[in-house]
Amino acid sequence: MSGLFISFEGNDGAGKSTQVEKLAAHLRKSGFTVQTMRDPGGTDISEKIREIILDNSNYKMKHMTEALLYASSRCQLVYEKIMPALRAGQVVICDRFVDSSLVYQGIARGLGIDVIKEINKFATGGLEPDITFFLHLDPAEGIKRKQSQGSLDRMENEKSYFHNKVYQGFEEISQLYPMRIVRIEAKASAKKIAERIAYYIDTYINERGI
């Protein structure tokens, strides 16, 4: 499959959405056709699933239900949007992908990484990003940022120990996939973070003749 698939990961409030848009703008200036997406979400069906997942009134949701809903949303996004864009030779930049489920449901919820891998392998056809940027930020700082932006959703409203598990989970995942996951310190200004990411991507593209 042609094209380039890039994902952004990290705790809530790490600045993923901002960096997705900044990288997209940078690559468009370089002449690439870029599609930006979010997971869960990105299609009509996936957005409806997202609403269910993040609705604070759904506090009784079982962990496996949550995992399967994420995988279902992701399945629709992959086959409706991501794969067609990659086949057309475009760049896809996604705000979260399977790594988030490995961390949030596999590690923080305790369902196990292997279980989540199998669910998502089936849901996505085994699709993986070419590059994943892990925006590294203290979880307490991330939630403070989210609180300043408005009300929190069901996942953001989890207790601090859950967000700490997520933080530790991303550290673990980044060590499992060192060739794909690039750790970026997210304490710097958005501009400096974007410059570092753009430099990495430009180097990656030039080395591979994309």
Asked if 182 contacts 200 with a C-beta cutoff of 8 angstroms, the reply is: yes
Q: Please name the residue ranges forming H helices in the chain.
A: 16-29, 44-54, 63-77, 83-87, 98-101, 113-124, 139-149, 160-176, 190-208
The pLDDT > 90 percentage for the chain reads 81
pLDDT above 80 (res 146): no
Half-sphere exposure of 146 (CA within 13 A, CB side): 22
Confidence of residue 201 (pLDDT cuts 50, 70, 90): very high
At residue 164's C-alpha, the angle toward residues 144 and 148, to 5°, is: 10
pLDDT per residue as tens digits for the range 156-183: 888 888 999 999 999 999 999 999 999 9
* Structural domains of the chain, with CATH: 4-208 (3.40.50.300)
pLDDT above 90 (res 142): no
pLDDT per residue as tens digits for the range 19-49: 999 999 999 999 999 999 999 999 999 999 9
What is the SS3 assignment for 38?
A: strand
